[in-house]
Structure 1
Amino acid sequence: MSKAQTKKSRKAILFARGLIIIIGGFITAYGLEAVLIPNSVSDGGVTGISIVGSEWTGLPLGLLIAVINIPFVYLGYKQIGKNFAILSTLGIASLAISTSMMHHIPSIIEIEGDTLLVTAVGGIIIGTGMGLALRNGGALDGIDMLAVLLSRKLPFGTSDLILFLNLFVFIVVSTVFGLKGALMSGVAYYIASKVIHIIEEGLSSTKAVYIITEHAEEMMKEIRDRLERSCTLQHVEGGYSKKKFKQIKCVITRLEESKMKETIQDVDPTAFVTVYDVTEVRGGNF
């Protein structure tokens, strides 16, 4: 492929990612305006602060989301790169514009006394939108970027700082929606974070199996015959015993896991086995 074709292909991929991120912003806005906000439930991060600011000042939510995120986009440009900043700007603009357009749409769920259902549905919707953005190289909320920067200056991990910053956000939320609203907002944020993780990482339908055994050749033969899977062989050494071993690595689907365990048990019941979830598999003959 020529340089011109490669450049054109990269632009097409960037355009496709930008389009998906815009859709993600639209989905997130729908979750906010049609589910969470009408039921006095907020989101975390910059969006949560924007919701509170909108309630306090009467300014449009979309305007506050756009303005408050500006320094975080600049931070992302400095810390991560130009493409990330561009894609994040598209996503935040989509979220801001969509919330303004949907501000007066009727709530799809409005159940008195059943805010847990509201938070679950709202968390799933906004988690889907944010997950699409993150999976495609952008972001709809700047608080994660702040946590990454602070983790380099303070003796705390990124996840700890994200939790701390959002605890502050939910305290602020309680001044508008009350303690119950703040707690439900925390639940919605937790559900959204889990949905984001699933969309980013997938459901891990494939697994990598590592087998340390003294019967490596026989083991690989049985795996090939029974599961029709190829293996990679590595030479390893015991850290304490200094004894030489052979380690087999094989990638299988979730449905093949029980058959793999049965094969290992038949060949070498004393084999040392570790199994890991695999996010993505490319190439080879998988």
Structure 2
Amino acid sequence: MEIIYKIKIGGVSVKNNRFKEYLFITIGVFLVATSVVFFFQPNNIAAGGTTGIAIIINSFFPSLSVGLLMLIMEVFLYTIAFIVIGNKFGAKTIYSGCTLAAIIWILEKLDLMGGKAVTNDLLLASLFGVFISAIGMGIVFNQNASTGGTDILAKIINKFFHIEIGKALLIVDFLVTLFAAASFGVEKGMYALLCVVINGFTIDAVIEGLNMSKQIMIISKKNKVISEFIIQKLERGCTIFHGKGVYSDESTYILYTVLSRKEFIKLKQHIKEVDSKAFITVSDAHEVLGEGFKDIIEEA
């Protein structure tokens, strides 16, 4: 199949993209903060990470807020990381880690629930807490950032003990849940471990959902009209291939494009209006990199 030509759209403002990235990161860390303050902390569920460590320390020293403890740990860990492994942490990761600690500290000061949890049922607190937290972390990770904390510890462990970062993360979170079991009892330690496991799977599902796009191929006698709609109205790019129908033995053109789900609905409606006999195939694209979507190379 021969590619005839490719239609592309202009670049998007870098400044606007940067603003959107930090806006989404802020929304993500706010969700993580609410899960900590309203579900995990009041129920002593230390579900891994620096938040888990802060919850454990806070139980012994209540005068030290979880947010303040996290901020101290973030500053300490980043300082150690810069000394030990160099400047390998991007601005977005530093921003998200410090903002998470700050939002938790603010929510603690506001004390909207009077120090009580939304629910004292450990199972409900674990499930809803990890669900909200995973959505938030998925949003943050989708902007090519992280909340710092255990990521830094994992890279330090990797540096000195040559353990893979993924395994190092599991080791750190597992150790936190062990300390949680020792501090709050075996039952709460088990809930903390359950949260760590569910959190990983849920984050993957959230990221996949956020990145899902539609890969569309169209065979129509109105390709020019349809391609103009894609470029001018949807502001997306498209490619036209040359093909040949086996049954009809006639030459034809195939229009290829990748759109978001909302954009595809608009395109489908337009095709119905201009060519009701068009042939369309649609498949899910789990991740799309390149112009108009996520950059192939991004600063972490």
The TM-score normalised by the length of structure 2 is: 0.62
Partner of 1:29: 33
State percent identity of aligned pairs.
21
Instruction: Report if aligned partners of 2:33, 2:100 keep a CA contact under 8 Å in 1.
Output: no
Q: Distance in 2 between matches of 1:83 and 1:156?
A: 25
Contact 2:50 2:149 in 1 (8 A): yes
Q: Distance in 2 between matches of 1:283 and 1:20?
A: 20
Contact kept in structure 2, 1:48 and 1:169, CA below 8 Å: yes
Question: Is the aligned partner of 1:182 residue 2:213?
Answer: no
**1:84 maps to which residue?**
93
- Single out whichever of 54-63 and 152-161 deviates more from structure 2: 152-161
1:130-141 → structure 2 map (5 Å cutoff): 130-141=137-148
* Structure 2 CA distance for partners of 1:42 and 1:84, relative to 1, 3 Å: closer
93, 106, 114: which one aligns with 1:104:
114
In structure 2, what is the equivalent of residue 215 of structure 1?
none
Task: Report how many aligned residue pairs link the two structures.
Answer: 223
Q: Which of residues 69, 83, 91 in structure 2 aligns to 1:64?
A: 69
2:125 alignment partner AA: V
Partner SS for 1:202: helix
* Residue 283 of structure 2, aligned match among 253, 257, 271: 253
SS of the equivalent of 1:79 reads coil
Which protein, 1 or 2, shows the higher relative CO under an 8 Å CA cutoff with sep ≥ 6? 2
**1:18 to 2:28 alignment:** no
| Structure 1 residue 203: Cα displacement | 6.6
Q: 1:171 to 1:181 in 2, by over 3 A?
A: same
SS of the aligned residue for 1:197 comes to helix
TM-aligned CA distance change 1:282 to 1:138, over 3 Å = closer
- 261, 283, 286: which is aligned to 1:278? 286
Compute the displacement of 1:281 (Å): 5.8
Q: Give the partner amino acid of 1:62.
A: G
- Please identify which structure carries the higher helix content: 1
Q: CA deviation at 1:151?
A: 2.1
Structure 1 length-normalised TM: 0.64
Alignment of structure 1 residues 260-271 onto 2, 5 Å = none
